Amino acid sequence: MQTSVVVFTCDLRVSDHPPLRAALRGGGRVVPLFVRDPAVDAAGFAAPNRLAFLADCLRDLDARLRERGGQLVLREGDTVTEVCRLAAEADADEVHMAGDVSAFAHAREQRLRPALEGDGRRLYVHDTVSTAVAPGAVTPASSDHFAVFTPYYRRWSEQGLREVLDAPRSITVPEEVGSAPLPERAGVSGVSPGLCAGGETEGRRRLTAWLRSGVDAYVERHDDLAGDATSRLSPHLHFGTLSPVEVVHRARRTGGSGAEAFVRQIAWRDFNRQVLAARPDAATHDYRTRRDRWRGGRDAEADAEAWRAGRTGYPVVDAAMRQLRHEGWMHNRGRLLAASFLTKTLYVDWRVGARHFLDLLVDGDVANNQLNWQWMAGTGTDTRPNRVLNPVVQGKRYDPDGAYVRRWVEELTGVEGADVHEPWKRPARERAGIGYPEPVVSLAEGLDRFRRARARS
């Protein structure tokens, strides 16, 4: 009987899982494997919020495999060594896993393939596990990837998606393979108090609820900071507890402009992944250099620290930064404002901000995080690289009665309405009493500094 190993990475589900279905095709035995690799932690991909969410995901995946007669096997160590060792223990013929786009994932695959082949085993890498459309499946005439979203989206929309694969009914795991104990969420320290729950079961519940009662209003409400009316599916898409192919199919079936706009965001996710697949260095280097000489030194570090702490004196930016710390998640409009403020108003390197986001975001993702940071810094794919978002104007527009600010900035809970976005207009005596900081820099000064810097470059 044939035996296969399925290596789970960022695809922690049993539904719509091409590697698992391919491994089961011959009716043979399957070892579902997850490797906790210290190199992932060392590369900065592991952070408490993601480790806690991961623990939920692994336990739920194990439970869903057990319902089908299987179980998850967890090993700790170098992925290549552990996959080869387990494949030998189980006398496996082949190994299946999902394709991925980061430099780390490329290097892992490049080491794994020859190591397995040297032992007479084959590695099958499956696409459309972590994206709806595979990176490189659509390309412009003159390049290996799209650098502009709109033409990409046109081609992306024309692609026929593969069918959704049902979760397997039964799985047989060889008896002789043992597993390390699965991690527990409670065992992770430094987790944000408001962190959401992980796991495929929770992801599917959220998706169903979202498609039933959230997506229709997406066009009108997605930028409403206080309304919190986006799907919050990003951690599930990041960890692959939901399949992007299935999400797109199911969203399209609901019809309507809300679903269409939501699917467009999934295309943004694929867009960033095809950029990173073609330019893995974009995780750390400017995609398009503007020859910035970012501010450094003690003043810049003090400004960055005020930004991290949610104490810049700009209420909507501070609210967003405090939401990030409390929930390990931030509304997209908040992310845009926080990133514009750091890179343009404070003129601090986008990598400083991206690092802080990766330290806290439960959906922290190399492709989406680094490329969105670059987009906002103007070193990425934005066709208007020098746009600067004004936090007062944007605050009044996307948080018109100030409810979002009051939710997260407790010093300002007593200030009513849109006035909350301009606390410096309150009388000095009142300001001294509330303990909310004065602005770290005036918007005019920040704008002027940024424009001068970009004009020089």
Does residue number 379 form part of the binding site for ligand FAD (CB under 6 A)?
A: no
Query: In which residue are the tokens 């962190």 written?
Result: 195
Question: Nearer Cβ to ligand FAD, position 61 or 263?
Answer: 263
Does residue number 268 form part of the binding site for ligand FAD (CB under 6 A)?
A: yes
Stretch that binds ligand FAD, among 43-51, 144-152, 249-257, 362-370 (CB under 6 A): 362-370
- Closest to 57 (Cα-Cα) out of 236, 207, 240, 199: 199
Does residue number 131 form part of the binding site for ligand FAD (CB under 6 A)?
A: no
Stretch that binds ligand FAD, among 67-75, 82-90, 193-201, 363-371 (CB under 6 A): 363-371
Q: What is the token pair recorded at 349?
A: 């390197």
DSSP states along 3-24: EEEEEESS---STT-HHHHHHH
Contact track, ligand FAD, 189-228, x by CB under 6 A = ---------------------------------x------
Query: In which residue are the tokens 């190591």 written?
Result: 115
∠ CA 232-275-317, nearest 5°, is 45
Which positions ≥6 away from 348 have C-beta within 8 Å? Answer: 294, 295, 300, 303, 304, 307, 342
Which positions ≥6 away from 49 have C-beta within 8 Å? Answer: 191, 192, 195, 328, 360, 361, 362, 364
Burial of 213 (0-12, 13-18, 19+ CB in 10 A): exposed
**Residues 318-357 within binding reach of ligand FAD (CB under 6 A):** 332, 335-336, 339, 357
Position among 32, 99, 183, 364 found at the interface with ligand FAD (CB under 6 A): 364
Position among 272, 345, 381, 394 found at the interface with ligand FAD (CB under 6 A): 272
Q: State the number of binding residues for ligand FAD (CB under 6 A).
A: 28
Does residue number 2 form part of the binding site for ligand FAD (CB under 6 A)?
A: no
Give least dist CB 137 to ligand FAD, A: 17
Does residue number 382 form part of the binding site for ligand FAD (CB under 6 A)?
A: no
Does residue number 242 form part of the binding site for ligand FAD (CB under 6 A)?
A: no
In this structure, what are the phi and psi dihedrals at residue 214, rounded to the nearest 5 degrees? -120, -40
Kind of pairing between the strands at 122-126 and 29-36: unpaired
Residues that bind ligand FAD (CB under 6 A): 222, 230-234, 237-238, 262, 265-266, 268-269, 272, 332, 335-336, 339, 357, 361, 363-365, 368-369, 372-373, 376
